[in-house]
Structure 1
């Protein structure tokens, strides 16, 4: 593709993102600021259409971008715009270090508010073990297990026990487990317990087994943890509002979540912001959707992903820094929360 075609494609996509209407050669001539005749522009547009970057919509003489056109645009033609100072300040104040669950919920809402689309945040679906545990005696047959996950999330589990454990024994058991198994996955602990339990005192081994079972339950509870904010915004987006069947499919995607979780998991294995454009990837179940996603971290490890879900006709140059900054702020908040 020569430079003239690149400029015209960039101009067409930028105009379509703003206006939402098929772009004709006369409009493109004015918007691109190239000194080309309408006939020359039509010829270039015909070439772009032949290569699958733009397409006709119905009988209109104008063209619209295709997923392939959007992909070329975001990969090599896009000029990322920094967020204004007001938005950056709003994000920094909203994502302060506190309960990790509140940070995640706030991040989803913030992304939705700033983008006017849907904000999504998911925790990584893996058994990361624990960072710290405590046992607290509640009664002769009840013990409270306090389990802190690697990302700082606190899980409380009530344990029904068959004997009365003194506070000193509970403290000793917690110290032993924290010293020898913190950071090890619960599945790995369970595997090792088969050979190591025989070497432990009976009271410690019983508490340890109960802690592992409770930890695995907590990991399963978080397995499909995803926060989606602003899904109702799609009702007001012309690309979706005029097609009830498309809206139903979209809300089914938000409700079922399996496809979204698969995509979010895939993004956790990549560095930086990833852009998935509907129609080009099996991970995006709707051709009209684009998803801008980035991983976030705690203690240097990826613990989840977040991003914006919107129509393919979105302002990518604004969404990319928005998602990138949010991921960095969430990571910083989680790290501060662990201190």
Structure 2
């Protein structure tokens, strides 16, 4: 069996199984695909694919279905990610261009991605640690209360309130605001840690409690476990995929409810234009029959991204179409945040 034909047979099996949800037989492949060989030859090819663990026979008299390993080879061999139609591109532009702030952008993005892919969409909020500071404001709320406002280049706004035992000196507040903006302007927030830790020593002893409190709040905001969060949409799409799971979809729903699980999966994915985790590649028992397609957004290169977005669904997924939708939405979202 030639290597090229084996890949063609595998591709045809994946495409037919994704389209029909039915195990694929050799006669069906011959009828639907111009493979140029007889059913007997196809059967031999399928036997070899099965021997290599790329397809499996769910029942004695049935056709074959792709395995996780087969899906992985199929995804790795995809030469061109399916582009979106002109109508889909216009839908992205119209929906996201009307967003009024970051929260609105994220909400619109996650709904759009769920609609485009018919899967569960997941969008991670831009990480403070990987964002660049645009401005930091200190707003007195009362003689002993101070509001710390962090504004990033992605439009994310984080607010923290500080209460002090002594009355807050407006002059110290103004000086502290100026120094913080000099330290952080145009820099990624995670690069400010050393300066924030040293900042209290630059003020008189009687003012250090306030400066220390502000520095601690900023450092706390930069801790990844404290500021990471995600938004979901399209969970109802799982109900339409119930037959794709040998067990109930309960474990998948439970995993979706645990934000820490999804954040961990996102963090473990490669920083590629589009990354795919298939079935057993997800290190979580509840997602052993699910696939995740994700991309970073918010940077000129994947390594510069501020967060991830993606979709989760059964391994029987339209990978070219899903990868195209995820890539397109990530790119458009990056342009919006850059603007």
Same fold (TM over 0.5): yes
Contact conserved, 1:181 with 1:189, CA < 8 A, in 2? no
What do residues 305-330 of structure 1 show as CA deviations (whole Å, max 9, x unaligned)?
Answer: 00111111111111111111111111
Structure 1 residue aligned with 2:335: 332
Query: Please, which moves more after superposition, 49-58 or 35-44?
Result: 35-44
Q: Determine the C-alpha separation between the residues in 1 that align with 2:56 and 2:167.
A: 74
Q: Determine the C-alpha separation between the residues in 1 that align with 2:206 and 2:298.
A: 36
Structure 2 residue aligned with 1:264: 266
Structure 1 residue aligned with 2:324: 321
Structure 2 residue aligned with 1:70: 71
Q: Determine the C-alpha separation between the residues in 2 that align with 1:61 and 1:257.
A: 39
Match of 2:203 among 200, 205, 209: 200
The alpha-carbon distance between structure 1 residues 34 and 127, as it changes in their structure 2 partners (threshold 3 A), is: closer
User: 1:216 offset after TM fit, Å?
Assistant: 3.4
Paired residue total: 330
Structure 1 residue aligned with 2:182: 179
Contact conserved, 1:148 with 1:155, CA < 8 A, in 2? yes
Contact conserved, 1:56 with 1:62, CA < 8 A, in 2? yes
What do residues 125-183 of structure 1 show as CA deviations (whole Å, max 9, x unaligned)?
Answer: 67358442111222222222222245331122222123333545422320122113443
Structure 2 residue aligned with 1:239: 243
TM-score, normalised on structure 2?
A: 0.87
Query: Please, which moves more after superposition, 92-101 or 44-53?
Result: 92-101
Secondary structure, aligned partner of 2:268: helix
Contact conserved, 2:196 with 2:219, CA < 8 A, in 1? no
Alignment of 1:125-140 (within 5 A): 127-128=129-130, 130-140=133-143
Q: Determine the C-alpha separation between the residues in 2 that align with 1:297 and 1:320.
A: 18
Structure 2 residue aligned with 1:230: 234
User: 1:261 offset after TM fit, Å?
Assistant: 1.4
Contact conserved, 1:124 with 1:265, CA < 8 A, in 2? no
Contact conserved, 1:95 with 1:106, CA < 8 A, in 2? yes
Structure 2 residue aligned with 1:119: 121
Structure 1 residue aligned with 2:251: 249
Gaps of 5+ in 1: none
User: 1:92 offset after TM fit, Å?
Assistant: 1.5
Q: Determine the C-alpha separation between the residues in 2 that align with 1:259 and 1:275.
A: 16
The alpha-carbon distance between structure 1 residues 124 and 29, as it changes in their structure 2 partners (threshold 3 A), is: same
Structure 2 residue aligned with 1:27: 28
Alignment of 1:138-177 (within 5 A): 138-149=141-152, 151-165=154-168, 167-177=170-180
Q: Determine the C-alpha separation between the residues in 2 that align with 1:37 and 1:327.
A: 43
Structure 1 residue aligned with 2:111: 109
The alpha-carbon distance between structure 1 residues 180 and 61, as it changes in their structure 2 partners (threshold 3 A), is: closer
Q: Determine the C-alpha separation between the residues in 2 that align with 1:36 and 1:152.
A: 57
What do residues 194-227 of structure 1 show as CA deviations (whole Å, max 9, x unaligned)?
Answer: xxx3332357644332222222343457534011
Query: Please, which moves more after superposition, 143-152 or 120-129?
Result: 120-129
